[in-house]
């Protein structure tokens, strides 16, 4: 594989079960087909190793995103397409990532809370409502919506394929990938 593409980071953010990972996985596959070096940084996977010592307090969430930002910065500046999918509920930390990462593109997976709850096969929202899960984003902890994301996906109104196409089209418009 010949690498002649610039590195960038697609930072998927949104409520739990909003579709961040589903879209990011499909976009990653499409970018690999186009010849990009691609790395996926997903919240569930990263918390198994890189950030397994962290909980879900604001301090720990900020540290989680700080570490992920560092990894994304290293990869993107070396020509890798990095696709992160983290709730990353706080604007301040997303803005920090934007300042530090090469070609940062914020992708807001906007989805109503009702749809997120319906998609929740693990029952996390219900546990949070019963108080069994503390500091759960969207229930007992805030989510600060992005103010000016490069891409907004209405994942409760559009198909997965439509969301993927919109991301790929925007990357082409930004000159980070080839069209089509």
Rounded to 5 degrees, φ, ψ at 94 are -65, -40
Residue from 18, 88, 140, 178 carrying the catalytic annotation: 88
Across the beta sheet with 151-154, the strand order is 37-42, 80-85, 8-13, 104-110, 151-154
Cα diameter, the chain: 52
Q: CA of 147: how far to CAs of 62, 76, 91, 98, in Å?
A: 19, 23, 8, 13
Q: How far apart are CA 180 and CA 168, in angstroms?
A: 8
The answer to whether 163 is a known catalytic residue is: no
The three-class DSSP label of residue 107 is strand
Angle between helix axes 58-76 and 91-100 (nearest 10 degrees) is 20
Task: For 90-130, give the DSSP string.
Answer: -HHHHHHHHHHSTTEEEEEEE--HHHHHHH-TT-HHHHHHT
Active site residues: 88
């Amino acid at each position: 594989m010949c690498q002649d593409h610039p590195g960038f980071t697609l930072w998927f953010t949104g409520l739990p079960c909003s579709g961040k990972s589903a879209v990011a996985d499909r976009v990653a596959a499409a970018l690999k087909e186009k010849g990009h070096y691609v790395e996926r940084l997903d919240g569930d996977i990263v918390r198994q190793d890189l950030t397994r010592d962290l909980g879900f307090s604001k301090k720990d969430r900020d540290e989680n995103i700080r570490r992920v930002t560092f990894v994304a910065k290293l990869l993107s500046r070396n020509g890798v397409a990095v696709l992160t999918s983290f709730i990353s509920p706080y604007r301040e930390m997303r803005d920090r990532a934007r300042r530090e990462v090469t070609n940062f593109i914020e992708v807001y997976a906007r989805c109503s809370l009702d749809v997120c709850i319906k998609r929740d096969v693990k029952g996390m929202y219900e546990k949070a409502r019963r108080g069994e899960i503390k500091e759960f984003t969207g229930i007992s902890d805030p989510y600060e919506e992005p103010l000016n994301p490069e891409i907004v996906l209405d994942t409760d109104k559009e198909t997965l394929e439509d969301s993927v196409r919109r991301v790929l089209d925007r990357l082409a418009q930004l000159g980070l990938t080839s069209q089509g």
